[in-house]
Structure formats: structure tokens, C-alpha cells
Structure 1
Amino acid sequence: MKNGQEIGSLLLRAVLGITFFVHGLSKFQGGIDNIGVWFHSMGIPSFIAYGVATIELVGGIMILLGLGTRIVSAFYVLIMAGAILFVKLPAGLTGNGKMPGYEFELSLMIIALYLVLNGSRFLSIDSILVKAKGLSRAIQN
């Protein structure tokens, strides 16, 4: 990738990581049990709330560090698809006056999908691990 693309990927990774970290943190701080009840009211098992909040919180840190970026981003794509389909779809893209639309979730989902497809190696732990693995192989040979 060219330098500008790497910086662009880093910026997308940072925004995605910060956003999901904050959303996960707010779920725990606001009472994860309440989120579970809300999930249950929509027909989603309440234990899923714990998984979503944990993936958002821990995944946000991982994405910021550039650790498992593609894998964590794939989970984010699934979470955002679920949010759109189960919660926001009836409100439309921009909302219906009663609730916001799904434009925010769609934007996050597309950023995450970009990172699934392209990764983000610039200033990432993943790139350090890949270099170390390559060096290890070179030493063994």
C-alpha cells in the first residue's frame, strides 16, 4: 500500500477503535443488565449483550493497538449488521422522527469492512508480529 493509504487506514482504525471502545464502556457503565433486558425485549437473548459489549470494549483497544484488526473488524461488521436489522431498519436511513436512522451504524460497518478487506499495518502490533515471525523463520533456516 502507498503511504497515504496506510495513513488513511490508520485513521479509520483509530476512529473505529475509539468509537467502539466508548460504546462498549458506556454499556458497562450504564448497566449491562439493562442492555440485556433491552436485547431480550427485541427477541435477542440477553446474554448476547455481554458479548457485544465485551467485543466493543476489548476490540476497541485491540483495534487501536492494531492487534487482530481484521478479525475484530469482522465482528464489528456482524454487530453493526445486527444493529441495523434488529433495531434501526424500521426507522430508515436517516430516521423517522421517533428514532435515529441507521446511517451511523452503516458508516461504522463499512469502515470495519474496509479493515477486514485491507487491514491496517501502519503503527500496528500485527505488523511487528509479522516482522518478528519472518525474522524467526529466517533465523531457523
Structure 2
Amino acid sequence: MKTTTIVTIMRIIVGILFIAHGVAKFQMGLGNTAGWFGSIGIPEFMAYVVAFLELIGGIALVVGLLTRYFAIGFILLLLGAILMVKLPIGLLGNAQMAGYELDLALLAIVGYFAIANERGYGVDQLLFKNRDQN
């Protein structure tokens, strides 16, 4: 299997995961999500930023649009989630909350998307084909 195909599959799977997390925040109600953010010491407006980044960025990853830029946004989001929320809970979490193992795996994958020249099949390939060939 070609690297381009594997990167495309990885990008789509990660995009779907972020879409699912974004949709979950909208289904809970952004006000409720903002309230939870506030209860753990994170400014409430960040709930809106996170929800929209997860949803829009996830869709962008699925179609392969501006992959590098959304990957950088996801790196910041995941670092924030790990450092501000999940680190005290531990790698595997506890009975109330998951640990940061998934966040760490996603961080490694989006880190690859941020630095690699291989973006896989998608809109980026069409937009930046000539630039990547140089």
C-alpha cells in the first residue's frame, strides 16, 4: 500500500474522531460545555473555540483541506487538554474520566500531519501540488 493511501486513511480516521468530539459538545449544549470548562478553571469561551475547531477541523481533515494548519490547531488543543485537564488524572484515567492516552496518540498523529510533506489524497493535494513538487 502506498504511503499516500495510508496517510489518507489516518487523516480520515482522526478527522472522524474530532468530528465526533465536536458533535458531542454541540449535543450536550455549548452552554453546558462552557459551564463545565468554567468549573475546571478554563475560560468558558474556550468551549466554543474547542467545539468549532473539533467540528470544522475534523471535517477539514476528512476532506484533506488545510491539513497542516488544522493539525497545528489540534496540537495546541491536545496539549491544553493534557496539561490542564487530564494530567492529574493519569495516563489511563480513573472511574470518572478517561486518561490522556487517546490524547497522546492523537497528538503523535496530528504532529505528523503538521510536519510531514505527505498529506495524502484530498483538497490539499490539488491546491498545493505544484509547491510540493519543488
**Normalising to structure 2: TM-score of the pair?**
0.90
Shift in CA distance, 25/96, structure 1 to aligned 2, threshold 3 Å: closer
Per-residue CA shift, 1:40-81, capped at 9, x if unaligned?
111111011001100000111111111000000111111111
* 1:20-35 alignment, distance < 5 Å: 20-35=18-33
Residue among 68, 71, 93 paired with 2:69: 71
Verify: 1:16 aligned to 2:9, yes or no.
no
**Shift of residue 98 of structure 1?**
3.9
Task: State the alpha-carbon separation in 2 of the partners of residues 101 and 123 from structure 1.
Answer: 32
**Shift of residue 88 of structure 1?**
0.9
Structure 2 equivalent of residue 6 of structure 1: 4
Task: State the alpha-carbon separation in 2 of the partners of residues 21 and 99 from structure 1.
Answer: 20
* 1:1-141 alignment, distance < 5 Å: 4-131=2-129
Any conservation in 1 of the 2:6–2:120 contact (CA below 8 Å)?
no
Please give the root-mean-square deviation of Cα atoms over the aligned residues, in Å: 1.6
**Shift of residue 92 of structure 1?**
1.1
For structure 1, the residue ranges without an aligned partner over 5 or more in a row are 135-141
Any conservation in 1 of the 2:113–2:119 contact (CA below 8 Å)?
no
Any conservation in 1 of the 2:22–2:51 contact (CA below 8 Å)?
yes
**Shift of residue 11 of structure 1?**
1.5
Q: Whose Rg is larger? A: 1
For structure 2, the residue ranges without an aligned partner over 5 or more in a row are none
Any conservation in 1 of the 2:65–2:124 contact (CA below 8 Å)?
yes
What is the percent sequence identity of the aligned residues?
43
Any conservation in 2 of the 1:10–1:120 contact (CA below 8 Å)?
no
